[in-house]
Amino acid sequence: MDTLLLSRIQFGANISFHILFPTITIALGWVLLFFKLRFNATGEHKWMDAYLFWVKIFALSFAMGVVSGITMSFQFGTNWPGFMETVGNVAGPLLAYEVMTAFFLEAVFLGIMLFGASRVKPWVHTLATFLVAFGTTMSTFWIIVLNSWMHTPQGYEVIDGVVFATSWFDIVFNPSMPYRFVHMMLASGLTVAFLIAGISALRLLWGDRSEAVKSALRVGIITGAALIPLQIFAGDMHGLNTLEHQPAKVAAMEGNWETGPNIPLVLFAIPDQEARTNRFEVSIPNGASLILKHKADGVVPGLNDFVGENGEILHPRVSAVFFSFRIMIGTGLAMLALSWGGLLLLRKYGAGDMPRLPLIAFCAMSFSGWIATLAGWYTTEIGRQPWLVQGVLSTKDAVSDVPAGMVLSTLIGYLVIYAVLILAYIGVITYLARKAANGEPLSTRKYPRSGEAEVVALQPGE
Amino acid sequence: MELFGDPAVWLPWTFAALMGVSILIYVVLDGFDLGVGILMPLAEDAEKDRLVASIGPFWDANETWLVLAIGLLLVAFPPAHGVILTSLYLPVFVMLVGLILRGVSFELRAKAPLSQKPLWNGAFFAGSLMASLSQGFMLGMYVMGLTWTLPHLAFALLTAVFLTVGYSFIGAVWLIWKTEDRLQKRSIGWAKGGIWGLILGIGAISMATPYVSARIFDKWFSFPELLYLSPLPVISALLVMFVWWQLSRMPLQNDRWSWTPFAAAMALFTLAFCGMAYSFYPYVVPEQITIYEAASAPESLFIILLGTIFVLPAILGYTILSYFIFRGKATDLRYD
């Protein structure tokens, strides 16, 4: 393999590992704020118990996100020096805003949010929780702006091969940004909803009947059921936006080779890029035309439009985009079925007496959000190839000239570490759930609500 | 943008200064928490939790300064970011693995089953060591102009050891400030054992830098510059003597002056850093690319600066707030 492909795999591996954790912290921050506010409002201790359990998972995820995020900021330089040299004038300020407004807001208030509950006034602690959640969301916003600009660049001019910004408004509000931002926020919400539902189901299966775990299960299922229809709608809108700006990506997603009307919706196939056709195709007639153009004879772009005059391929590798898109859709549909089914069971049985089978199903789907999110990102990022910045900079022009052997050896190093860490991460979450299910108290402190005078409860050793 | 003269001059200068300040803050702040990690094997099992507790609320934010520093290099001087990081590809990899290991061990040692704790303590130490060694190595390579030759490599290995011992020193003086009783006494011993790394490190770089480049030699050893610069080494020597004297008479009654070795260590790092900044200015890649050649377009730098003006005071403000809230001796970390 050459340096280009290895560098792509390495960067892909690192960014895949990284996104797992922000996907959790983005929405979990808001869920924690919800728990805290419910506690402030009702004074019911179960909300504080839920807070104390999930804040540990938040801390763990946050640490994983920070360290893998540091890796990313270095790899721009080690793997893709051409990226910043060419588009640094646009990408630089966006990355700077991501780091400045957000990273710090999270990292600094995190200390107070995690360890400060007994050191600051209750309202300061609630405020710190809010600022961490807000910081994470701002972080998402700026990085999504940059990523969207790489897909649908505008507001710039090219002088001597270097990109200069002409309108920051156009750059920030580039055409795909609103869709991508909403899609990502909802993805994070769903990931967390299913994680909370799954881990709560696990604790119920282990015999934990605490109020905190029942409430958490309810929050997880209801959030999941509420967000998944919104996500399907947002995803569809995002797809139409992609059709307008990156037709080659949509053609690869649909597995459609020839431009034309009455294009079927391919449910399954094995795309053969050499023969430029699909094998073992199962499809619904007119489906793709109906979804993308809302009429049966709508014209859908085909991959053969993106082949250069002397045969060079100007569209992404079809099978990668085609399959990751289907994995994302499949996971989404499973989420829809399970969360709405769970909602019905919740009405019928309540959270405490849910039958075993759906509880096991929720356990199995604990990390489904990760799968859908990664598959979605692979679809959109591989779908942009051969471009790094659509129409402006190709990926091969940005890669560094580091020897392939060096990239390969460090790649193996990263992969081993990431595999170990993911196992450790999931292992620790399960272990924390086991401890909580065995009834180990999360805290012996009595918590004051906002507005109440703090009750000084001294404990042995304090 | 024209307010301070030619924006193609003052903007790169401002960003170089901002980047320098971020690197300095990073080295001092993450220096102490990396140092605490390096000291882990020396502590008894019962003390290890307290060691970690002393840096618990801070390390996330400390490491963020590295993101800001490297981020500023990336956004303000893109070509330099590429040149420096591709030539330091391997040490960067080692550092990143180290930072990953220690960051996650920090969480996992407290949350994983008790039987796994020694494993994660070990990973915490190994990660801290890898990060410190590779940072020292990169510092040495940078001083030597980023060219991979055998003598340069040897020098970089030397600075790797010195910086690591230096970090263990700043970790130890942090512990003198943040702990008490027996652990504090042991920290005083660790600080005495680590101070030589700092002295030799500063010495080695001060000696080597002028001999690598005639330009830097002339900047230091000419009249009247020599006169203006003489306070740097003189104050540094006085600070070292002060720390040595304080360490030899500590612990004092009522924990008086326990913060002074840490403050003096911060001042030492700052002075050494100012000396280096003076040597290398105006180059961002030593003797190859100046900050003015590497800078992004003034328009882009200006946009970043607008954000920085609002954000930097806020960051400093709540960094101070966070250190204030967690002031005093370190206690066990609790989420509740």
- What residue in B sits closest to A68 (Cα-Cα)? B100
For the stretch A317-357, pLDDT in tens is: 888 999 999 999 999 999 999 999 999 999 888 888 888 89
Q: Using the beta-carbon criterion (under 8 Å), do B325 and A119 form an inter-chain contact?
A: yes
Q: How far is A122 from chain B (nearest CA, A)?
A: 12
Rounded Cα gap, residues B38 and B32, in angstroms: 10
Contact A13, A415 (CB under 8 A): yes
Q: How far is B311 from chain A (nearest CA, A)?
A: 6
- Could you tell me if residue A255 is left (phi over 0), alpha (psi between -120 and 50 degrees) or otherwise beta? left
Contact B50, A39 (CB under 8 A): no
Report the pLDDT value the prediction gives residue A457, as an integer from 0 to 100.
37
Q: Is the pLDDT of residue B101 over 70?
A: yes
Indicate which of A54, A101, A115, A158 best probes the interface with B, i.e. most B CBs within 10 Å of its own CB.
Answer: A115
- What residue in B sits closest to A62 (Cα-Cα)? B60
Rounded Cα gap, residues B226 and B204, in angstroms: 19
Rounded Cα gap, residues A351 and A359, in angstroms: 10
Angle between helices B89-111 and B45-55 (to 10 degrees): 110
Q: What is the separation of C-alpha B93 from the centre of its chain, rounded to a whole number of angstroms?
A: 18
Contact B170, B272 (CB under 8 A): no
Contact B165, B315 (CB under 8 A): no
Q: Using the beta-carbon criterion (under 8 Å), do A93 and B75 form an inter-chain contact?
A: yes
Q: Which of B63, B89, B111 sits opposite A60 (nearest CB)?
A: B111
Across chain B, which distance is largest between two alpha carbons, in Å?
64
Strand partners, A272: A277
Q: Using the beta-carbon criterion (under 8 Å), do A81 and B86 form an inter-chain contact?
A: yes
Residues of B in contact with A164 (CB under 8 A): 297, 299-300
Quick one: A276 exposed, middle or buried, by C-beta within 10 A (0-12, 13-18, 19+)? Answer: middle
Question: Closest by alpha carbon to A64, among A116, A16, A97?
Answer: A16
Among A residues 53-72, those touching chain B with beta carbons less than 8 Å apart: 55-56, 59-60, 62-64, 66-71
Quick one: B206 exposed, middle or buried, by C-beta within 10 A (0-12, 13-18, 19+)? Answer: middle
Beta-sheet pairing, A277-284 with A265-272: antiparallel
Q: What is the token pair recorded at A75?
A: 């790899």
For the stretch B268-301, pLDDT in tens is: 888 888 888 888 888 888 888 888 888 888 888 8
ipTM over 0.90: no
Strand partners, A389: A393
Tell me the CA end-to-end span of chain B in Å, nearest whole number: 49
Rounded Cα gap, residues B246 and A30, in angstroms: 48
Report the pLDDT value the prediction gives residue A108, as an integer from 0 to 100.
66
Looking up tokens 């640490």 gives A63
3-state helix/strand/coil string of chain A = CCHHHHHHHHHHHHHHHHHHHHHHHHHHHHHHHHHHHHHHHHCCHHHHHHHHHHHHHHHHHHHHHHHHHHHHHHHHHHHCHHHHHHHHHHHHHHHHHHHHHHHHHHHHHHHHHHHCCCCCCHHHHHHHHHHHHHHHHHHHHHHHHHHHHHHCCCCEEEECCEEEECCHHHHHCCCCHHHHHHHHHHHHHHHHHHHHHHHHHHHHHCCCCCHHHHHHHHHHHHHHHHHHHHHHHHHHHHHHHHHHHCHHHHHHHHCCCCCECCCCEEEEEEEECCCCEEEEEEEECCHHHHHHHCCCCCCECCHHHHECCCCCECCCCHHHHHHHHHHHHHHHHHHHHHHHHHHHHHHHHCCCCCCHHHHHHHHHCCCHHHHHHHHHHHHHHHCCCCEEECCCEEHHHHCCCCCHHHHHHHHHHHHHHHHHHHHHHHHHHHHHHHHHHCCCCCCCCCCCCCCCCCCCCCCCCC
Among B residues 257-316, those touching chain A with beta carbons less than 8 Å apart: 296-297, 299-300, 303-304, 307-308, 311-312, 314-315
Report the pLDDT value the prediction gives residue A455, as an integer from 0 to 100.
40
Q: Which of B103, B112, B336 sits opposite A442 (nearest CB)?
A: B336
Rounded Cα gap, residues A283 and A216, in angstroms: 40
Q: Which of A63, A90, A104 sits opposite B315 (nearest CB)?
A: A104
Residues of B in contact with A445 (CB under 8 A): 336
Q: Whole-model pTM? A: 0.83
b/e B220-232 (16+ beta carbons within 10 angstroms → b):
beeeeeeeebeeb
For the stretch B113-151, pLDDT in tens is: 788 888 888 999 999 999 999 999 998 888 888 888 888
Residues of B in contact with A97 (CB under 8 A): 304, 307
- List C-alpha distances in Å: A166 to A98, A100, A171, B74: 20, 23, 9, 21
Total length of chain B: 336
A427: number of CA atoms within 13 Å, CB side? 13
For the stretch B31-89, pLDDT in tens is: 888 999 999 888 888 888 888 888 877 777 777 788 778 878 888 888 888 788 888 88
- Taking the Cβ of residue B225 and every Cβ of chain A, the question of whether any pair is shorter than 8 Å is answered with no
Contact A101, B141 (CB under 8 A): no
Rounded Cα gap, residues A220 and A21, in angstroms: 18
Q: How far is A35 from chain B (nearest CA, A)?
A: 14
Mean pLDDT rounded to a whole number for chain B: 84
Indicate which of B26, B86, B107 best probes the interface with A, i.e. most A CBs within 10 Å of its own CB.
Answer: B107
Q: Using the beta-carbon criterion (under 8 Å), do A52 and B336 form an inter-chain contact?
A: yes
Q: How far is A368 from chain B (nearest CA, A)?
A: 23
Mind listing the pLDDT tens digit of every residue in chain A (462 residues)?
788 889 899 999 999 999 999 999 999 999 999 999 999 888 888 898 898 889 889 988 988 887 788 788 778 778 888 888 888 888 888 888 887 766 666 666 777 787 777 777 888 888 888 988 888 898 899 999 999 999 999 999 998 888 888 889 999 999 999 999 999 999 999 999 999 999 999 999 998 888 889 999 999 999 999 999 999 999 999 999 998 899 889 888 988 888 888 888 888 988 888 888 888 888 888 888 888 888 888 888 888 888 888 878 888 888 899 999 999 999 999 999 999 999 999 988 888 888 889 999 999 999 999 999 999 999 999 999 889 998 889 888 888 878 888 889 889 988 998 998 899 899 889 988 888 888 776 665 556 554 444 443 333 333
Report the pLDDT value the prediction gives residue A139, as an integer from 0 to 100.
86
Question: Closest by alpha carbon to A93, among B74, B311, B75, B298?
Answer: B75
Look at the alpha carbons of A250, A256, A262, A268 in this order and tell me if their dihedral is positive or negative: negative
Rounded Cα gap, residues B311 and B306, in angstroms: 9
Q: What is the token pair recorded at A253?
A: 């997603």
Q: Using the beta-carbon criterion (under 8 Å), do B57 and A99 form an inter-chain contact?
A: no
Percent above pLDDT 90 for chain B: 6
Rounded Cα gap, residues A351 and B303, in angstroms: 52
Rounded Cα gap, residues A275 and B196, in angstroms: 69
Report the pLDDT value the prediction gives residue A454, as an integer from 0 to 100.
42
Strand partners, A282: A268
Report the pLDDT value the prediction gives residue A453, as an integer from 0 to 100.
41
Q: How far is A316 from chain B (nearest CA, A)?
A: 27
Rounded Cα gap, residues B332 and A125, in angstroms: 19
- A301 Cβ contact list (under 8 Å, min separation 6): A243, A247, A248, A250, A251, A256, A259
Report the pLDDT value the prediction gives residue A451, as an integer from 0 to 100.
46
Q: Which of A52, A99, A116 sits opposite B68 (nearest CB)?
A: A99
For the stretch A108-142, pLDDT in tens is: 677 778 777 777 788 888 888 898 888 889 889 99
Report the pLDDT value the prediction gives residue B335, as an integer from 0 to 100.
64
Among B residues 39-68, those touching chain A with beta carbons less than 8 Å apart: 56-58, 60-61, 63-64, 66-68
Contact A284, A267 (CB under 8 A): yes
